[in-house]
Chain A
């Protein structure tokens, strides 16, 4: 199994409340860094840094929209964490089904 530093980057990027907010705003993909910066009580440079962290994690990318550059969320990237946990949930659902079978089994399983 290969370690993927990528996923640490995704989670690290999402560990910050401002960056999570940027990710959710950028789903619409119609604001550039300057417009995004207006939503936060911090400097343009600080917001730009947050966007850069998100970009490195592959969570957002900048794309051209006419003459402007907008920040857009990469939805599939966002789903990685949830989907990992979804798989783990499947594992436990399987186990619990088997537990239920055992419990409803005849008394012989008790012996």
Chain B
């Protein structure tokens, strides 16, 4: 397991995930900067992502769609805020309409990626996700699930509707 720390703040509505890799910062940066590599991890094999637009410069945009097992293609976008290869990347992300334009009915989230050389050929990467409001968090997490979760995750409504605490 390469994830070394996870911090969830339910008041500030943030999730901070830190991972360490046996690779150089430059190599880890490529996972983000090369859309062909990005496509190999952004969505799981059953929901692969395809980036149709990719401009990793401040103010630049990226556009992608996922292909679901049923053939649907939900779309998303990034707006790049800051880029400092191979150290950091900040972006807004959200939903897109069928025609690729931003779907303003849905909230946008913010993501900060920090990549640090920790010596010995190893690199630490942290991803801080910020949600503007609780409802936005819910919607974006639901979107993340559409993108990312396979069998393990049901709809957010189902989670909220569950009458009992988690099995813990």
Please report the C-alpha to C-alpha distance between residue A4 and residue B160 in the assembled complex, in whole angstroms.
9
Out of A80, A82, A88, A103, name the residue touching B28 (CB < 8 Å): A103
- Give the interface SS of chain B, mostly helix, strand, loop or mixed: mixed
Size category of the B interface is 35 or more
Q: How many A-B contacts at CB < 8 Å in the complex?
A: 126
For A42, list chain B residues within 8 Å (CB).
none
Interface contact B165-A89, CB-CB below 8 Å: no
| A88/B129 in contact, CB under 8 A | yes
Within 8 A of B (CB), among A1-41: 1-8, 10-12, 14-15
A84 to B157 Cα, complex, angstroms: 11
B159 and A84 contacting across the interface, CB-CB below 8 Å: yes
Indicate whether A95 sits within 8 Å of B15 (C-beta atoms), given known contacts A4-B160, A84-B141. no
* Distance (whole angstroms) from the CB of A54 to the closest CB of chain B: 15
Is the beta-carbon distance between A7 and B135 smaller than 8 angstroms?
yes
**A66 interface residue (CB < 8 Å to B):** no
**Is there an interface contact between B165 and A79, defined as CB atoms closer than 8 Å?**
yes
Name the A residues within 8 Å of B94 (CB-CB). none
In the assembled complex, which residues on chain A have CB atoms less than 8 Å from the CB atom of B31? 99, 102-103
Interface of chain A, main secondary structure: helix
Min CB distance A107 to B, Å, is 11
Given contacts A79-B165, A99-B31, A99-B41, contact A7 B138 (CB under 8 A): yes
B137 touches A84 (CB 8 A): yes
Partner of B8, one of A75, A85, A101, A109: A85
Partner of B149, one of A75, A91, A103, A110: A91
Contacts A96-B17, A102-B31 aside, 12 further interface pairs with beta carbons under 8 A come to A10-B134, A12-B134, A76-B165, A80-B160, A87-B156, A91-B147, A94-B44, A98-B40, A100-B21, A102-B41, A103-B21, A109-B40
Chain B positions within 8 Å of A, measured between CB atoms, are 2-3, 6, 8, 10-11, 13, 15, 17, 19, 21-23, 27-28, 30-31, 37, 40-42, 44, 127, 129, 133-135, 137-142, 144-145, 147-149, 152-153, 156-157, 159-160, 162-166
Lowest 6 CB-CB distances: which A-B pairs, in order?
A: A11-B134, A98-B41, A81-B10, A91-B148, A85-B8, A91-B144
